[in-house]
Amino acid sequence: MKHSTTLAAALIAACAALGGCASSGQPQQTTYVNPSDTAAAYGTIDSIQVVQAKSGTSGAGAVTGGLVGALLGNQVGSGSGRTAATVAGAVGGAVVGNKVEENRNQPREQYQISVRMDNGDYRIVNQDSVYDLRAGDRVRLVDGRLYRY
């Protein structure tokens, strides 16, 4: 019984640690603009395209599902039957956990905005909405988002 309690505590600790590694699967575009360089913060929109944000799995769902499945499978049977149940639980849990994560990270639409900056740079900014932005609009780039200027 002490072995099961120790195993359960280790699995719970591992799940908690892996939870911090989970990714939303959403691509992040980070653009650094020096606040003292005002020309870099302003530009004109060349084009706006609707794109599908990439989805996928980070593996955290499969790992967590596998650990939970192994823990539950370990509670069934004894001897080699317990070992088989643990392995089956781990595999089944990993498959289910991966599917749950995949369903949670369904692709969604994003707007890919191409901007010609006043200093000559060309930037592509991904945003979840464009509000009132149109091609040809003057914009300001603030913290990775575009706003009409």
6-19 mean pLDDT: 55
Tally of structural domains, the chain: 2
Range of the domain at 41: 31-55+107-149
Percentage, residues of the chain above pLDDT 90: 16
User: Do 50 and 61 fall within a single domain?
Assistant: no
User: Do 18 and 67 fall within a single domain?
Assistant: yes
Average pLDDT, the chain: 77
pLDDT band at 41 (very low <50, low <70, confident <90, very high): confident
| Highest mean pLDDT out of 4-8, 51-55, 119-123 | 119-123
User: Do 35 and 12 fall within a single domain?
Assistant: no
User: Do 6 and 62 fall within a single domain?
Assistant: yes
pLDDT band at 33 (very low <50, low <70, confident <90, very high): very low
pLDDT at residue 36, rounded to an integer: 47
User: Do 75 and 61 fall within a single domain?
Assistant: yes
CA gap 68, 19 in Å, rounded: 13
pLDDT at residue 139, rounded to an integer: 93
pLDDT at residue 9, rounded to an integer: 55
CA gap 3, 79 in Å, rounded: 14
44-69 mean pLDDT: 84
pLDDT at 35 > cutoff 60: no
pLDDT at residue 47, rounded to an integer: 93
User: Do 123 and 64 fall within a single domain?
Assistant: no
User: Do 18 and 90 fall within a single domain?
Assistant: yes
User: Do 149 and 92 fall within a single domain?
Assistant: no
